[in-house]
């Protein structure tokens, strides 16, 4: 389970909720969300079903409808600046996406119909995509504009939130970083065994970036020596991806856990090298298993 495109045309709702939960540090499978919400291929998913699924994961889906574009923009921006992901139904109420950040007038959107998932839109682009125009049943010449949005508010104390930014979004949109988005939850799961979310009471800690400044060369040299034939450039990219995830969620390492982190990340990188490049038997004879 990572950040990847939806496999069909009707599962955008569960994917949008999954993306909102990811920003709150909750990793839920879209198949589970689909089942809980009761979504199906014929009707897709509506806000009532997504509200039910949100409640299951300890969150509340709020429902707002605005008719003025500027008011809708301001209220959406207020929620995003508070770190609250917000579901939007776009394309004339035909597709769900997740707004996660507004920065310098641009909106970062997680869109499961987009190959790169992350999309950066200006307000003009988002407004055109978001607005729904409804004709009055009595006066067909009158058209009313509708902007619906649904913040996903956690009912628990969030330990760590994904801090998306324009710089991070552009980094993730690069083709060479596609494997990072595909395995987003795996990186996060591994890092949480070695790192902790930063809190106001955190003392004697340092970032993963500082950790790699101190120990990256040692780790790469040791794994290359033990394995014998790894591509150091590709191995360094794995560490860069770890660094990116840790910075996005604000993860840190306590000084007392520094040696444990060296051993843990070396082990993770060794398993990656073995899976990527294969290994020969150690302390025994025989052919390598394929």
Domain-wise residue ranges, the chain:
12-154, 183-277
Q: Give dist(CA 128, CA 145) in Å, integer.
A: 11
Per the DSSP assignment, residues forming a β-bridge with 190 are none
Tokens 């988005």 belong to which residue? Answer: 181
CA–CA separation, 270 and 50 (whole Å): 41
Mean pLDDT of all residues in the chain? 91
Residue 166, CA atoms < 13 Å, CB-side half-sphere: 9
Q: What is the DSSP string of 85-133?
A: -EEEEETTTTEEEEEEEEETTEEEEE-TTSTTSEEEEEHHHHHHHH-EE
In this predicted structure, what is the pLDDT of residue 138?
62
The pTM of this model reads: 0.89
Q: Please report, for the chain, how many H helices and E strands are present, in that order.
A: 11, 11
CATH node for 12-154: 3.90.70.10
pLDDT at 231: 86
Give mean pLDDT in consecutive 10-residue pieces for the chain, a chain of 290 residues: 87 96 93 92 88 96 96 98 96 95 97 94 97 77 89 92 94 92 93 89 89 95 86 92 95 94 95 87 66
Cα gap 166→45, rounded to integer Å? 29
Q: What's the pLDDT at 141?
A: 66
196's enclosing H/E stretch is strand 196-197
């Amino acid at each position: 389970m990572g950040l990847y495109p939806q496999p069909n045309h009707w599962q955008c709702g569960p994917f949008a909720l999954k993306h909102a939960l990811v920003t709150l540090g909750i990793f839920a499978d879209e198949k589970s969300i689909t089942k809980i919400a009761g979504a199906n291929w014929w009707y897709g998913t509506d806000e009532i079903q997504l509200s039910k699924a949100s409640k299951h994961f300890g969150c509340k889906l709020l429902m707002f409808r605005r008719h003025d574009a500027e008011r809708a923009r301001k209220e959406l921006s207020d929620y995003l600046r508070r770190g609250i992901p917000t579901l939007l139904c776009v394309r004339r109420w035909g597709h769900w996406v997740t707004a996660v950040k507004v920065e310098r007038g641009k909106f970062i959107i997680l869109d499961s119909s987009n190959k790169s998932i992350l999309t950066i839109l200006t307000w003009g682009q988002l407004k055109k995509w978001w607005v729904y125009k409804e004709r009055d049943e009595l006066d067909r010449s009158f058209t009313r504009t509708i902007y619906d949005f649904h913040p996903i508010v956690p009912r628990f104390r969030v330990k760590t939130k994904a801090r998306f930014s324009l710089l991070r979004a552009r980094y993730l949109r690069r083709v060479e970083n596609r494997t990072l988005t595909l395995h987003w939850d795996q990186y996060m799961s591994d890092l949480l065994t070695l790192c902790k979310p930063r809190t106001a009471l955190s003392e004697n800690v340092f970032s993963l970036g500082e950790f790699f400044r101190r120990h990256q060369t040692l780790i790469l040299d040791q794994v290359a020596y033990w394995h014998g034939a790894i591509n150091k450039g590709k191995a360094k990219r794995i560490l860069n991806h770890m660094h990116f995830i840790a910075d996005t969620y604000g993860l840190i390492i306590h000084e007392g856990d520094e040696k444990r982190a060296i051993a843990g990340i070396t082990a993770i990188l060794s398993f990656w090298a073995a899976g990527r490049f294969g290994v020969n038997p150690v302390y025994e004879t025989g052919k390598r298993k394929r």
